[in-house]
């Protein structure tokens, strides 16, 4: 079988299985089985596919027919130009989250805290983009932290990043000039509408806090001011309909300069705010 025939077979299988974007997914899966970049597939169309590579491709197609996300099958995802390992223990990094990166990089920072670090895509991207910064990533899931640790090592950032198991800010000490978070924000009602790629394969704890989806924002905004230096920023990713509710939580937390930022599709995606004047205890100021 040639590369072109394999691609056609794989796309056909996925189409029959009701997988959206069947041709695109088949290309990624075939490229991974062949050990080449997806853009090489067209150039290799007439080449024969070795038996063991074909077997690998068939296994990939079978996994995708069970709705396993492509990133989990091939084991990685590109995010903001870097490669991140992805397993069923972490959220598959979404392109929408790059909006949060863009907003965070609009101002310099030296100490960043990422709450709910998952694969590490936010924390590690920010550290890679800001070479004089150090950062802490937290997650409640030790399995997610293991993936983040692997990505930290792969990207050569172990000397500037620290990973801590913590229920939001419970085990965090010190102050930061930037706090970022992409917390679980899908409401219980919305969970029913998600595709099986998400509900069957991604960690439940990464998707929803239950209820109206806002609980993580309530906790984070309640405590963020205690961990921000004067002028420090809080930036969170939100679901498309959550802008107004999260803006009110930022206002209640006495954050200033609150902005709701849109993603490339024009949907509300990120809320940012800044801590204004603050009365410091002597012990806190010593940490600055």
Ligand X SMILES: C[S@@+](CC[C@H](N)C(=O)[O-])C[C@H]1O[C@@H](n2cnc3c(N)ncnc32)[C@H](O)[C@@H]1O
For residue 114, what is the enclosing H or E element? strand 111-115
- Sole residue written with tokens 């806002």: 214
Least Å from the CB of residue 140 to ligand X: 4
Q: Which of 136, 151, 182, 229 binds ligand X (CB under 6 A)?
A: 182
Residue in 6, 19, 29, 93 binding ligand X, rule: CB under 6 A: 93
- Among residues 3, 112, 124, 144, the one that binds ligand X under rule CB under 6 A: 144
205: contact with ligand X by CB under 6 A: yes
Residue 173 main-chain phi, psi, to 5 deg:
-120, 160
User: Which residues on adjacent β-strands are paired with residue 111?
Assistant: 134
Q: Which span (2-10, 22-30, 139-147, 227-235) binds ligand X, by CB under 6 A?
A: 139-147
Q: How far is the CB of 192 from ligand X (least distance, A)?
A: 18
Are 176 and 110 in contact, with CB atoms under 8 Å apart?
no
Kindly state the tokens that stand for 43. 């150039």
Task: Determine if 167 is a binding residue for ligand X (CB under 6 A).
Answer: yes
Task: Answer yes or no whether residue 97 interacts with ligand X by CB under 6 A.
Answer: yes
| C-alpha to C-alpha distance for 49 and 52, rounded to whole angstroms | 8
* 117 is a site residue for ligand X (CB under 6 A): yes
From 69, 135, 184, 273, residue interacting with ligand X (rule: CB under 6 A): 184
Sign of CA dihedral 232, 235, 241, 242: negative
Question: Is residue 91 close enough to count as binding ligand X by CB under 6 A?
Answer: yes
Contact status: 118 vs ligand X (CB under 6 A): yes
Consecutive H or E run containing 215: helix 215-224
- 116 in contact with ligand X (CB under 6 A): yes
Sign of the CA dihedral running 68, 37, 131, 255: negative
Q: Quick one: which segment of 6-14, 52-60, 137-145, 192-200 binds ligand X (CB under 6 A)?
A: 137-145
Q: In whole angstroms, what is the distance from residue 56 CA to residue 220 CA? A: 44
- Selected binder of ligand X within 31, 122, 175, 179 (CB under 6 A): 122
Q: In angstroms, what is the minimal distance from the CB of 84 to ligand X?
A: 9
Nearer to ligand X, 33 or 249 (CB): 249
Least distance (Å) between residue 242 CB and ligand X: 13
| CA separation for the pair 87, 146 (Å, rounded) | 10
Quote the CA–CA distance of 273 and 256 in Å, as a whole number: 6
The β-bridge partners of 270 are 237, 261
Q: Which is nearer to ligand X, 56 or 272 (CB)?
A: 272
Instruction: Tell me how crowded residue 278 is: count the other CB atoms within 10 A of its CB.
Output: 14
The residues that touch ligand X, with contacts defined as CB under 6 A, are: 91, 93, 97, 116-119, 121-122, 138-141, 144, 167-168, 182-184, 205-206
């Amino acid at each position: 079988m040639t590369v072109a025939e394999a691609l056609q077979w794989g796309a056909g299988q996925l189409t029959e299985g009701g997988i959206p974007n069947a041709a695109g997914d088949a290309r990624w899966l075939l490229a991974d089985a062949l050990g080449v970049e997806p853009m090489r597939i067209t150039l290799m169309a007439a080449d024969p596919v070795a038996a063991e590579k074909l077997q690998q491709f068939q296994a990939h197609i079978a996994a995708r027919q069970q709705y396993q996300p492509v990133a989990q099958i091939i084991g990685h995802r590109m995010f903001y130009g870097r490669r991140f390992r992805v397993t069923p223990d972490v959220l598959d990094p979404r392109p929408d989250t790059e909006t949060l990166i863009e907003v965070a990089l609009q101002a310099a920072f030296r100490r960043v805290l990422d709450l709910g670090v998952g694969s590490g895509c936010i924390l590690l991207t920010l550290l890679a983009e800001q070479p004089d910064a150090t950062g802490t990533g937290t997650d409640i899931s030790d399995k997610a932290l293991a993936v983040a640790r692997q990505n930290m090592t792969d990207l050569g950032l172990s000397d500037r990043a620290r990973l801590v198991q913590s229920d939001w800010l419970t085990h965090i000490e010190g102050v930061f000039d930037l706090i970022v978070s992409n917390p679980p924000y899908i409401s219980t009602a919305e969970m029913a509408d998600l595709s099986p790629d998400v509900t069957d394969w991604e960690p439940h704890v990464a998707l929803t806090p239950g209820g109206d989806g806002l609980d993580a924002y309530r906790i984070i905004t309640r405590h963020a001011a205690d961990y921000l230096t004067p002028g420090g920023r809080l930036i969170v990713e939100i679901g498309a309909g959550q802008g107004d509710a999260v803006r009110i939580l930022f206002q209640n937390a006495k954050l200033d300069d609150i902005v709701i930022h849109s993603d490339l599709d024009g949907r509300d995606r990120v809320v940012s705010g800044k801590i204004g004047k603050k009365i410091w205890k002597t012990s806190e100021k010593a940490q600055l």
